[in-house]
Amino acid sequence: MALQPAFRFLLRHLPATISSIFPKLSIPVHRKLSILNSSSPKPISPTTQITWRAAKENKLVSDKDERFGNGTVSSAESVVNSSTIAAIVTSLCGPPAAVGIVRLSGPSAVSIVGRVFRPASKKKRRGPDWSPVSHVVEYGVVVDSHGNVIDEVLVVPMLGPKSYTREDVVELQCHGSEVCLHRVLRACLDAGARIAEPGEFTLRAFLNGRLDLSQAENVGKLISAKSVAVADSALAGIQGGFSSLVKSLRAQCIKLLTEIEARLDFDDEMPPLELNPVIDEIRGMLQEVDDALETADYDKLLQSGLQIAIVGRPNVGKSSLLNAWSKSERAIVTEIAGTTRDIVEANISVRGIPVTLLDTAGIRDTDDIVEKIGVERSEAVATSADVILMTVSATEGWTLEDEKLLERIQCNKSGSSSTPGVLVINKIDCAPSSLCDWVNTLSSSFNKHVFTSAVSGQGIPDLEAAIIELAGLNRIPTGGRKWTVNQRQCEQLVRTREAFIRLKSSIEEEIPLDFWTIDLREAALALGQISGEDISEEVLSNIFGKFCIGK
Amino acid sequence: MATTLSLHLTRIVSQFSVPSSLLPPLSSAKQRPQLLQCRLRLRFHGRRGFFVSRQEAPRRRFSIFASTTSQDWDKHSDASNERYDVIVVGGGHAGCEAALSSARIGAKTLLLTLNIDRIAWQPCNPAVGGPAKSQLVHEVDALGGEIGKVADRCYLQKRVLNISRGPAVRALRAQTDKREYASEMKKILESTPNLSIREAMVTDMLVGKNDNVEGVCTFFGMNFYAPSVVLTTGTFMSGKIWVGKTSMPAGRAGESASHGLTEYLQQLGFETDRLKTGTPARVDCRTVDFSGLEPQHGDEEVNWFSYDPDYHLEREQMCCYLTRTTKSTHQLIKDNLHETPTYGGWVEAKGPRYCPSIEDKIVRFQDKESHQIFLEPEGRSVPELYVQGFSTGLPERLQLPLLRTLPGLENCSMLRPAYAVEYDYFPAHQCFPSLMTKKIEGLFFSGQINGTTGYEEAAAQGIVSGINAARHSAGKSVIVLERETSYIGTLIDDLVTKDLREPYRMLTSRSEHRLFLRSDNADNRLTPLGHDIGLIDDRRWKIYLDKKARILEEKQRLKTTRISSGDLTAEITEVSGQPVRDSSTLESLLKKPHVQYKILDKHGFGNNLLSRMDKECVEIDIKYEGFIVRQQNQLQQMVNQQHRRLPDDLDYYAMTTLSHEAREKLSKVRPRTIGQASRVGGVSPADVTALLIILESNRRRAHEERKHQMLTSIIADASQEVSESPLKETISP
């Protein structure tokens, strides 16, 4: 509709003061017919003081088609009458905090959280829907749309009106790292939330009568500051690759709408529409959106970096590798197996991407209680890292212990998503190169293998290249799509993608042409952040500009 | 949302109010001298040949609340003063619907027209319906209007367009017999109780001291009084027709324009502008060789505009024909471009984009070698053929040679030349969505005066203004159809909100909610309202309720009836390309692609009690349930948000947080709701948020002031009680 989604919500949430003045009466017909009496006098011209009563109006709000199930909509969605916003409300600047908070506010806040949150308590898990008690903290995990666990969280539900915005508010207390917070937020957006505009929680609080009048000015300033910010970012985005992608996608949507709607309004004057190119174009657009969303993931990578766990049997040179790679003496290196007991971190930069190397205790069965804990930690790190470097010694070759260790890591990763693994054959300086034979037999277990020598630094560049390739960064052509996608743009793309997927299924189910326009319009709306009428007007002028129609 | 109140209640209340029409118009006498001057100045423009003065318009039965006083007043009437509840000026498609709805509601109505023989004339294409326009016709019918019934009765050919493109864009189009149409409509008007018709040219308004309308004055000096006046002047206000470079003042070819009214309304402060439209030449069908032309037949199964089965009477159909422009057409136009108004440069106004002249098409689409031209009959008893797609501004001497370049028309004779007409209109932001003007209470505008084009658009506005004029004169609240509930609402919302640059034609792409605004559910959307208002009688109401019940029952039956595999499932598998599970419900079968209700009928699983229309409704409801529910949810959200009312007395110029453009535009349009404000061109979402913040701040401030006042008055009361001082009177409010 006419309003940007960001503002749609606001419109209804103002206290309906008028309704308290007039009584509500039941209606004899099955339809809502509300009468607005506006009796405020309105001066007709500055010269005359004569006023007349503004026209009284009956407003017909038949938001129901009488035939359609008497207006009762079976889906739970029927109560949703405004958008639900979400944002990370704790600071992301400065050193990472221990805890970060993602806040949701709006009528479907509870149902959205219900979709991403799995309570730890089994009792609570039983019900079909998550139905929290207001102001009672719950513990559990957040999962993404594929069901993978993202983070463990504390959930604080604050149901309206006893909340900051007087709407249902749910806060997810996550781990403070930026990656966690962004992943949780993304899950909420995927589940139907909309990213909040700057200051929108406060704006809602004000419009819902929460703040006092003196604070209104601040809200006003906030909004105008936001407009400036929007203008700035819009300006900044003009040259950006992302905006040109959005522009071209939007133009394609409008073009297709033009093609279709011209045929709907001027049926007998147009040549029939070739459907196959249209379908191809829609598929192409979906692909582009998917690609762009993938870029969004790389973008997060750029911001948050990679975690690389170095695992292996004791004394294969893991710590030496870390030291050689980070060009430091971060880890203690001895000849004694099991020197490293705890996780040792070193931060390096691989082609501009921040990488955290995690040196782990050598994994083996041990009775030493300290080492045992170290081994457990190693395994835990291996499950959560972005890339695993499985290190073996070139001198010893692939041993039975290595085989066991590989199984152990793989079985810990019970999930379907497998962390990419690199086989690092270390100590290559101490062994003849005739060992290559066994490496090839293992190619199915690892994405890559690299020969290194931690002592001489040989093979480190190969390792870096392998990492870059595994993280998929080599797929971003330099100079081509070298732009970043922020959370908001990501949301835009997610909405666009949803619309395209619905459109695709409409096409597959051979739904008539008119229905295609619904989702094309929605895609154009999501891409353009402009009102529906503007699209109508644009489509119309395109129709008249492009086609020779009219009788 | 503000208050919810039964319409019945308001109606009862209003029965007791005294119609303001009975009060003598005191102020009009004062204004006369000035008005006379204005008329004298303009008298020379009038070119009326003769005038049949009718002493007394036939006044038949009276409405319940008007009757006692009217009879009373009749006894000492003088011929120059006549009182009505509603006066409708203009007898076109807007005027007819306005007069009929007003009279049927019970208001004593007078229809003033320049020429009684031209009532409900179709001066351009004698066709009703088409995409989006057909929805308007269905909606007018659902409310109790007439256009659909007359079109159903007078059709020459009917076709459903967009059949396979979705239920929301399916559109019925009827070619009508233009003479029959006019005479049918005239008959209906003449036989409607409470309605008088009279020939007159209205030149002035009578305006009361509260800026309320009190009646109209005619060119020949008659005064007619009414508290509600509907202006539906079409292309007649200062109309001027053009053929080539030659022009003359006229509303339509051969009919005199109406002068004086524009100037008078301008004096009252109305803003006016000019629009231009045109109509192509007519040729004699007896001189056309149809043998080589592609015929275009009507549908075998005829569909109807009206929901009233009493009007579903099939008749023989006529054929339309298709021809094309040729190389010599294009050459002739290119050689004579300097003779056309647009390219010759003597007319700046461009015609509507959806109705380009043939020279426009050829200049703008140079690579197109040929353009389609439709030949459409104008009636069963007239030889005229309408040459659709062939509007031109070329002079008359070139028009026949141009026509003769078309295959089949090589030897044609032209009956009427193509001409363009320009006329005054009043940008409709000067109206409320009830179509009452903001400046003059009781004055309503409808049809081309608001900048629209098309019979259907006119009829849609006509019925709304007729209803509201009658309700206004009876002291009832006026009715507004919302954008989301109807194409009529969309039309009016666009008119009162947006800037027009060309005559406004309804198009499906103008409605964001079109899936919901289908022709098959127009009665479900609007007939209950028509019934409440008093335009749908008990018979129609029963038909409606029965139909609704039948459809609901059938949907229930389809939901609960399960079938085992057999001929039906085999055919459905074949048609849809999808497997059918055992003991599927009939409903689930209907949801499959390409499966129509007909297949159920064919295998004996249909319901014979249902009409074809009913079955279509059932099929649509079931097949597209998912889409409809989704749209409905979005709509509900939107309605709640957008229908927040804006106070009438907002000073937008004082709102510094709004952009300058928004301040200007909002002051001009003065939107009624937040939703409307957001649709005004140049108002950004940030402006809307700023507006919301201002409203909320104002509300809080007012609240605090009230509290403060209450507090001070309590303190004052307390001090009075204590002191009993002599200051008491000055302190107390």
The predicted structure's pLDDT at residue A51: 31
- Return the half-sphere exposure (C-beta side, CA atoms, 13 A cut-off) of residue A420: 16
User: Cβ contacts (< 8 Å) between A514 and chain B: which residues?
Assistant: 162, 165-169, 514-515
Q: Which two tokens stand for residue B460?
A: 């849609």
What pLDDT band is residue B31 in, cutting at 50, 70 and 90? very low
- Report whether B724 contacts B687 (CB < 8 A): no
Q: How many CA atoms lie within 13 A of B375 on its CB side?
A: 27
**Residues B621-665 pLDDT 10s:** 999 988 888 888 777 767 767 778 888 888 998 888 788 888 888
Residue range B416-429: mean pLDDT, rounded: 92
Q: State percent of chain B over pLDDT 70.
A: 86
Helix (H/G/I), strand (E/B), else coil: B660: helix
Mean pLDDT, chain B, integer? 84
Instruction: Provide, as residue numbers in chain B, all residues whose Cβ is less than 8 Å from the Cβ of A32.
Output: 4
User: B525 or B24, which is more confident?
Assistant: B525
- As a whole number, mean pLDDT of residues B255-275 equals 91
Contacts of B642 in chain A (CB under 8 A): 1-3, 11
**Nearest in space to A173 (alpha carbons), one of A254, A261, A98:** A98
Q: Nearest-CA neighbor of B201 among B34, B30, B37, B51?
A: B51
Q: Which of A18, A44, A63, A266 to mutate to test the interface with B (most CBs of B within 10 A)?
A: A63
Residue B248's H or E segment, with its range, is: strand B246-249
Q: For residues B493 and A483, which has the higher predicted lDDT (pLDDT)?
A: B493
pLDDT of residue A534: 61
Q: Which of A7, A81, A266 has its CB closest to that of B640?
A: A81
Other beta carbons within 10 angstroms of residue B282's beta carbon come to: 18
- Note the pLDDT tens digit of each residue in B343-353: 877 766 666 77
- Mean pLDDT is highest, among A297-306, B547-556, B584-593, B698-707, for B547-556
Three-class DSSP labels, B586-648: HHHHHCCCCCCHHHHHHCCCCCCCCCHHHHHHHHHHHHCHHHHHHHHHHHHHHHHHHCCECCC
Check if A238 contacts B (Cβ < 8 Å).
no
More confident residue, B102 or A73: B102
CB pairs under 8 A between A and B: 339
Instruction: State which amino acid sits at residue A379.
Output: E
Distance CA A472, CA B385 (A): 69
A409 Cα distance to chain centroid:
29
Predicted confidence at residue B560, as pLDDT, reads 92
CA end-to-end distance (rounded Å), chain A: 31
State the Cα torsion B294-A258-B124-B237 to the nearest 10°: -170
Yes or no, beta carbons of A58 and B1 under 8 Å apart: no
| B516 in reach of chain A (CB within 8 A) | yes
Mean predicted confidence (pLDDT) in B2-10: 38
Percent of chain A as helix, strand, coil, to the nearest 5: 45, 15, 35
What is the model's pLDDT at position B245? 86
Q: CA B514 to CA B552: how far, in whole Å?
A: 22
Of all residues in chain A, the one with the smallest CA distance to B389 is A551
Cβ neighbour number for residue A78 with a 10 Å cutoff? 15
Question: Dihedral (C-alpha) B635, B637, B639, B641: value to the nearest 10 degrees?
Answer: -150
- For the stretch B678-712, pLDDT in tens is 888 878 777 887 888 888 878 878 888 888 888 88
Cβ contact, residue pair B365, A548, below 8 Å: yes
Please judge whether B432 and A55 are an interchain contact, meaning their C-beta atoms are less than 8 angstroms apart: yes
**Residue A262 Cα distances to A251, A338, A528, B491, B507, angstroms:** 16, 75, 21, 19, 10
Q: Which residues of A touch B704 (CB under 8 A)?
A: 213
Tell if the pTM clears 0.90, that is, is over it.
no
Distance from C-alpha of B481 to C-alpha of B530, rounded to nearest angstrom: 12
Q: Which residues of A touch B699 (CB under 8 A)?
A: 14-15, 17
User: Measured between beta carbons, which residues in chain A are less than 8 angstroms from residue B618?
Assistant: none
pLDDT of residue B723: 58
Q: Which of B54, B21, B52 is nearest to B215 (CA)?
A: B21
Query: CA dihedral defined by A378, A380, A384, A385, rounded to 10 degrees?
Result: 0
What confidence score (pLDDT) does residue A273 get? 82
Give CA–CA dist A163/A132, Å, rounded.
Answer: 14
Judged by a CB distance cut-off of 8 A, whether residue B287 touches chain A is: no
Does residue A37 belong to the interface with chain B, where contact is any CB pair within 8 Å? yes
Which ranges of chain A have pLDDT less than 70?
Answer: 1-81, 92-96, 123-128, 198, 211-243, 268, 295-304, 351-352, 411-418, 432-437, 472-488, 529-537, 542-551
Give the Cβ contact number of residue B565 at 10 Å.
13
Between CA A316 and CA A322 the distance in angstroms is 12
Chain A: closest CA distance from residue B720 (Å): 31
Please tell me whether the interface predicted TM-score (ipTM) of this complex is above 0.85: no
Backbone angles phi, psi at A256, to 5 degrees: -65, -40
Of A24, A53, A223, the CB nearest to B3: A24
CB contacts, 8 Å: A203 with chain B: 689, 693
User: In B526-536, which positions are buried (b, 16+ CB within 10 angstroms) versus exposed (e)?
Assistant: bbbbbbbbbbb
Report pLDDT for A126: 60
A99 inside 8 A of chain B by CB: no
If you search the block for the tokens 């209109």, which residue do you land on?
Answer: B425
CA-to-CA dists, residue A534 to A496, B511, B644, B690, angstroms = 18, 12, 21, 20
Whether the pLDDT of residue B259 is over 50: the answer is: yes
Query: Distance, in angstroms, between A118 CA and closest chain B CA?
Result: 27
Give the 3-state secondary structure of residue A373.
helix
The reply to whether B631 touches chain A by the CB within 8 Å rule is: yes
Hey, is the C-beta of A32 within 8 angstroms of any chain B C-beta? Answer: yes
The CA distance from B509 to the nearest CA of chain A, in Å, is: 6
Put simply, whether A531 touches B (Cβ < 8 Å) is yes
pLDDT given for residue A223 in this prediction: 53
**How much is the pLDDT for A359?**
84
Q: What are phi and psi of B366, to 5 degrees?
A: -60, -35
Q: Do A550 and B516 touch (CB under 8 A)?
A: no
Q: Is B433's CB within 8 Å of A78's CB?
A: no
